[in-house]
Structure formats: structure tokens, C-alpha cells
Amino acid sequence: MFGEAHPRRVVITAAEMVTPLGADAETTFRGFVDGRSGIRTTTRFDASGLGSQVAAEVDDGFLAATAGYAPRAEALSRSAPRAVQLGLAAGLATKRLAGLTDTPPHRFGVCVGTSGQMYDIGVLDELLQRRIGSGTTGPGPEFAGLLATQRHSMRKNASAAALAHLCGAAGPTMTVSSTCASGTQAIGEATLWIREGDADAVLAGGCDSLLSFLGISSFDLLTALATRFNDRPAAASRPFDRRRCGFVMGEGAAFVMLEELGHALRRGAEPLAEVAGYGTSCDAYRITDSPPHGAGAVLAMSGALTDGGLRAEDIDYISAHGTSTLINDRAETRAVHKVFGDRAASIPISSQKSMIGHTIAAAGAIECVTCLHVLRTGLIPPTINYEFPDPDCDLDYVPNTARAQEVRVAMSNSFGFGGQNASIVLRRWPGRADGDGHG
């Protein structure tokens, strides 16, 4: 039976997210249910020379989330790179909602999935070499000034370190950088810490922003981005649709507060959901795409079911990786068929990337929080822009319109570049059918 496999059960007691559809989880989830697209023509920089000229950008108003938390938090959020800013906004809001105050610091951890901010180390190197070549010793004020602005960018652990500092978390702290699987892996690995007794509470999630000329052009060169819909941005991301031609870059952040069940109940926190299972694997195939039959995805999904003592028939909804790329959507579909067999076609599966693009390291965390709201509300977000069925993608993708359906157990999939795969399963907390989702 569920819950017997792991003596230290792990529950979620708070969650928050910042996305192109809103600066909080409730607004974002309403946008998902309404099928609203957050994809627009790129405004952050001049993308006219690139193949992909659309992106899902977060409104700058999200910075208000750090105001009032602590002077240090607000100051840090305004000087840090974009990904760190997003992570602080969502992470600090989650900590505030959890009301976690009495946990000993050494029993409180932080686990963050992120790509780290992209920066051009060549600029720094050129400045230093020029100064040395001129016979001047030391880096000089020009180099030092540029280095000061890049100091956060050079550390992938900037988000985790800042959140641990601001939240007073002296327990295990980790940065997970496994591209598109990062957010899901961060939540999964943090779950293992609690199960194994290394922590009683962990702030876990993901944050990312690669919306720069360098970030977009890099994926553009890989022909991974959608390029046919620059004149129709909202139609550009179309997972599982026959006319899909690549993903749209997005940005965002999402976090959950994970707690050992007894710890949560003793402090009077009401669990929102239980982390039922976690599975992870590597394709050991190619850097940019999945094996045609999704062998790694099969291992991750099967592992999550086994870890939770669950069967295929227990899953009521799947939040798909669903990137809108030709190969990955097809591979994920085949993997779902292999894992769920005859039930595959009857399980609703949808992709929030159709509305907010691919937020890379933050994607799995955003989709995990979305599953939390699906469990709470019984509303399944649609996959928008699904117009032309692909015979190789033949599952129930909840096309274009949200669906009301009881969901007790939900699975979220993340299959990333480099063959990193992770799946996590959430189960609705017994007796909880409504509420505000924040704990």
C-alpha cells in the first residue's frame, strides 16, 4: 500500500511560482486553465537576426515579491542575474507561505535546479590579457568593475546559496544542473534527503532565464527552436501537434516546501500533497534529443511508480515534458505507451509549455506546482495549439480546453538535454479537495 514503503513520508506544505503568466501560482494556474499564452515577440533584446524571434518573458513586476521580506533580500534580488532574481522571488514567497519558523537550521535544507546565468568569460579574459600585455600589474579598475557585475553569474550555486542565507537554512544545500530535468531532480533529490533523515524540511525547486542573445542564438544554431510562427507568437509552441517545429524559450521559477510528515503535523501545517515517488535516469544516447523509443523516459517513469509502490492504473494525470519538438514529443508518447500499456490512451496528458514555452531548469518545478493545483482543484490544464493530430502522437493531450476531472495521483515528467530524465509522482493529501494551495 502507498505510504508503507518509506517510514519518513514527505509532504508539500507550501508552493509558489513566477511565470510569464503571473507572479504567483494562483494567477499562473488560472492562466493555464484558461488556455492563455504568455508567448510574445521578444522584447529583451533585438532578435530580428535570429530564426526564433518569440519568447515567454516574465513581467518585471515579479521583483515586488522580495520587497519587505528583508532589506538584504531586496538588495540582492536587484543586483543579481535574472535567474537568481526569479529564484529569490519564488523561493522566498514559498518560505513565507510555509510559515516555517521553529525548524532547527541544521535540519532545514535548500535544493535548487538551475542552468546558472550565461555570461561571456571571454570578455573578462580579453580585458585581463590586454592589461597584462600593456605591462600593467593587477586586474585594474575596469576588470574589477566588470568582474563585480559578473560575480553571481560565475556561480551556478548563487540561487541556492542566497536562499539558504536568507532563509537561515544550514542543512544540506545543493545545486542541480541537469538542464531541462533540473527542477524535477531538485525536488526528487530533496525528497530523498528527508526520507533518509538528513533533513526535516527542504525548500526545493528550480529557476532559470536564458533569454539573452547568446542564450537564444545557441539553441537557434541547434535548430531546436520554433521559427515558423514569428508572426503568430501565441501559436509557436504546439506540443504533439503535427505542425510543431521546435520549442519556445521561456523563463520562470517555482519552489515547494517539502517536509517530513510528522514534522509538518507537529507544527500544525496542513499538507497539500504527498511526494509519492521519484525516478531518474540517463539516456546515454545523444546530447540534444531522446532515443526514438524513449528508453530513458521509460526508466524514469517506471522508477517513480516503483519508488512509490504504485501501479500504472493509479495515475490519473500526466504533466508531460511536451516541448513541441518533433523527436521528443514522439519519444515521450512512445514511452508513455510502454509504461502504461492499455491505459495509456485513457490518461489525460498535457503540456504547460504550450503556454509558457520551455523554462529549461525551472520547467519541472513549475509543472510540479501545477500538478499540485490539479490535485487540489480537479481542473486539468489543456495543451493549446493542438490543431493537427500527429499519428505518431496518439494520446489524450487534453486539446485546447481545460477539463474537470478528479485527480488523486499525478505524474510530472522532465526529459532534458544530455539525456537527463526525471519523473515525480504526487498524491493528493487524503481528505483535501479544496483550499488555497498555499498551506
10-residue block means of pLDDT along the chain (439 residues)? 70 97 96 98 91 95 65 61 90 95 96 74 55 60 56 72 93 95 98 98 96 85 92 98 97 98 97 98 81 90 97 97 95 97 97 98 98 98 98 97 98 90 96 42
DSSP symbol at 152: T
Same domain, 131 and 72: no
Pick the closest to residue 330 from 338, 322, 341 (CA basis): 322
Same domain, yes or no, for 137 and 236? Answer: no
Distance CA 5, CA 85 (A): 38
Q: What is the pLDDT of residue 215?
A: 84
Rounded to 10°, the helix 25-34/363-377 angle is: 80
Look up residue 11 and give its three cell numbers: 509532504
Which residue among 180, 368, 371, 393 is the active-site one?
A: 180
- 227 found inside a domain: yes
**For position 435, what pLDDT does the model report?**
41
Look at residue 78 in the predicted model and tell me its pLDDT. 62
Specify if 5 maps to a domain.
no
- Return the pLDDT at 415: 93
The answer to whether residue 293 is catalytic is no
Residue of 321, 337, 373, 438 with catalytic role: 321
Whether 126 and 234 share a structural domain:
no
Q: Is 245 a catalytic residue?
A: no
pLDDT of residue 271: 97
What letter does residue 335 receive in the DSSP assignment? H
Q: Which residues constitute the domain of residue 144?
A: 121-150
Q: Do 283 and 238 belong to one domain? A: yes
Number of domains in the chain: 2
* Residue (of 300, 296, 271) closest to 286 by Cα position: 296
Report yes or no on 38 lying in a domain: yes
Catalytic residue chosen out of the listed positions 358, 368, 371, 393 = 358
User: Residue 436 domain-assigned?
Assistant: no
Same-domain status, 232 and 99: yes
Examine residue 80 and state whether it is found in any structural domain, yes or no.
yes
CA distance 243 to 249: 18
Q: Let me know if residue 6 belongs to a domain.
A: no
Check whether residue 130 and residue 62 sit in a common domain: no
The last residue of a domain, from among 129, 150, 171 = 150
DSSP E strands, 172-250: 173-176, 201-209
- In the residue annotation, 180 being an active-site residue is answered as yes
- The pLDDT, as a whole number, for residue 151 is 52
Q: Where are the beta strands (DSSP E) in 105-235?
A: 108-113, 173-176, 201-209
